[in-house]
Amino acid sequence: MNAVAALYDIHGNLPALEAVLRDVRRAGADLVVVGGDVLPGPMATESLDLLGTFEIPVRYLTGNGERETLAAADGREMTTVPPAYQPLVKWGAEQLRPDQIAGLKHWPKTLEIDVPGWGTILFCHATPRNDMDIFTRLTPDDRIAPAFAGVTAPIVVCGHTHMTFDRHVGTIRVLNAGSVGMPFDTPGAHWLLLDAGGPRFMHTAYDLEAAANRIRATNYLDAEAFAANYVLQAPGEDVMLKAYGDR
């Protein structure tokens, strides 16, 4: 294995995923790790299908998006989704085919993968503790350290906050892969490549106007806002660092 591509927080942005997978091929990756939150989003079922037919092996882990979408699909309460966003999750659950629902139920919460030259890497969605912990490059070690208790892998790759970073929590190096489909940074798609050159934070540019039009053409309940706020532009790291810090 020469390189691993970590793709997180796709959120049904199929045009972004298509562009990233082209770059993953060019980068010579041997494995793709999808780190959760392929859904909800405007073209999530199509994104699952594309990943399922990709010629490079793909391994998956679940995020809070999958967990809550499965709850909606099963008619259970969505415990961590604010009421304003629950219709979006329910809509996404209604789009899933039975085979997709069955597949999602087998996605694990974490993955450990031995990568030559790197050793064991632990992949999780938010933290090894759960899929909801929020921390950033600015979060003090003592605040987030309990979420990494018991971790023996020297490197952890995560996502969830949609912003890239490379930091340490104690002796553990933690890399956030950013977001393919809903970046809180420069518009475009953000992902992580792990190869002999070290961790490389990748940015894939794609036709944002064309992508926005494709998303607007879907039946997604929030299609216009998604296209405007997460494709054509992005909130920006400074805005989100403050928002997360306030929480």
**Residues 125-169 pLDDT 10s:** 999 999 999 999 999 999 999 999 999 999 999 999 999 999 999
Assign 247 a pLDDT band (cuts: 50, 70, 90).
low
The Cα 194–Cα 80 span in angstroms is: 32
Residue 179: exposure state from Cβ atoms within 10 A (0-12, 13-18, ≥19): buried
CA 16 to CA 179: how far, in whole Å?
10
Cβ 194 vs Cβ 33: under 8 Å: no
In a domain, 152, yes or no: no
Taking residues 170-178, what's their average pLDDT?
97
- In a domain? residue 19: yes
**222 belongs to a structural domain:** yes
What is the phi/psi pair of residue 244, to 5°? -70, -40
For 32-76, write each residue's pLDDT tens digit.
999 999 999 999 999 999 999 999 999 999 999 999 999 999 999
> What pLDDT was estimated at residue 42?
98
Q: Is residue 162 part of a domain?
A: no
The string of pLDDT tens digits covering residues 179-203 is 999 999 899 999 999 988 789 999 9
Is residue 241 domain-resident? Answer: no
What is the reported pLDDT for 29? 95
With respect to residue 247, please indicate whether it lies within any of the assigned structural domains: no
Predicted structure pTM score: 0.96
pLDDT value, residue 220: 97
Cα-flanking dihedrals φ and ψ of residue 203, to 5°?
-125, 120
The residue-averaged pLDDT of 207-230 equals: 97
Least Cα distance to 204 among 15, 72, 51 occurs for 15
Q: Structure tokens of 122?
A: 């632990």
Q: Say if residue 246's pLDDT is above 70.
A: no
Q: Is the pLDDT of residue 91 over 90?
A: yes
Give the residue numbers spanning the domain of 8.
Answer: 4-125+178-235
In the predicted model, what is the mean pLDDT of the chain? 95
**From CA 133, how far away is CA 22, in angstroms rounded?**
31
Confidence at 93, pLDDT banded by 50, 70, 90: very high
Residues in the chain: 247
Predicted local distance difference test score (pLDDT) of residue 153: 96
Does residue 92 form part of some domain?
Answer: yes
**Cα–Cα distance, 45 to 33 (Å, whole number):** 18
Please count the structural domains in the chain: 1
pLDDT-based confidence at residue 1 (cuts at 50, 70, 90): confident
Query: What's residue 235's pLDDT?
Result: 87
What percentage of residues in the chain have a pLDDT greater than 70? 99
Is pLDDT larger for residue 36 or for residue 237?
A: 36
150, two tokens: 């018991």
CATH number where 75 lies: 3.60.21.10
pLDDT reading at 106 higher than 90? yes
Yes or no: say if 136 and 241 are a contact pair by the CB < 8 Å rule: yes
Is residue 144, in this structure, part of any structural domain at all?
A: no
Label residue 242 by pLDDT band (50, 70, 90).
confident
Query: How confident is the model over 106-114, as a mean pLDDT?
Result: 96
